[in-house]
């Protein structure tokens, strides 16, 4: 059973991609500090999931188990996010090192956004 990718599906996907790009650009323009913070947390979360999947695959190969053949494609597909997450994390670190956007202030407070701050 094959999925047929019609023109309606393509239009729907392109509209959703466009809405996502516009929302990311508007967040960086209106609330840049919150956008960098959200990018860091989201990237860290999904990169952690991808690293757990890589660890799962490694354990399955080392243990030479046969039961995981059925579900091995799922962790392999999820671990492919590392090729996207690592460059994003490198950009976040480099921008932070250049001093343009600091997510952690030097006095020990973690800044969530400009209006709301939480102390350690």
Tell me, what's the pLDDT at 14? Answer: 95
Tell me, what's the pLDDT at 91? Answer: 87
Tell me, what's the pLDDT at 31? Answer: 85
16 vs 38: which has the higher pLDDT: 16
Tell me the mean pLDDT in the region 73-102. Answer: 84
Tell me, what's the pLDDT at 40? Answer: 86
> Kindly report the CA angle at 76 between 71 and 81, in degrees rounded to 5?
135
Tell me, what's the pLDDT at 25? Answer: 92
5 vs 62: which has the higher pLDDT: 62
DSSP secondary structure code for residue 73 in this structure: H
Phi, psi angles (nearest 5°) of residue 110:
-100, 120
Domain ranges of the chain: 32-118
Q: What value does the mean pLDDT of the chain take?
A: 82
Cα gap 93→75, rounded to integer Å: 27
Checking if the pLDDT of 33 tops 60, the result is: yes
Checking if the pLDDT of 96 tops 80, the result is: no
Structure tokens at 46: 């999904």
Cα gap 24→71, rounded to integer Å: 34
> Kindly report the CA angle at 3 between 23 and 78, in degrees rounded to 5?
55
Share of the chain above pLDDT 70, in %: 82
């Amino acid at each position: 059973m094959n999925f047929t990718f019609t023109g309606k599906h393509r239009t729907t996907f392109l509209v959703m991609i466009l809405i996502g790009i516009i929302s990311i650009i508007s967040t960086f323009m209106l609330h840049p500090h919150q956008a960098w913070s959200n990018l860091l947390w989201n990237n860290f979360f999904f990169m952690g999931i991808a690293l757990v999947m890589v660890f799962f695959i490694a354990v399955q190969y080392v243990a030479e188990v046969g039961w995981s053949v059925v579900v091995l494609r799922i962790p392999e597909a999820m671990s492919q996010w590392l090729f996207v997450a690592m460059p994003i994390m490198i950009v976040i670190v480099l921008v932070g090192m250049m001093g343009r956007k600091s997510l952690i202030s030097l006095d020990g407070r973690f800044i969530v956004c400009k209006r709301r701050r939480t102390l350690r």
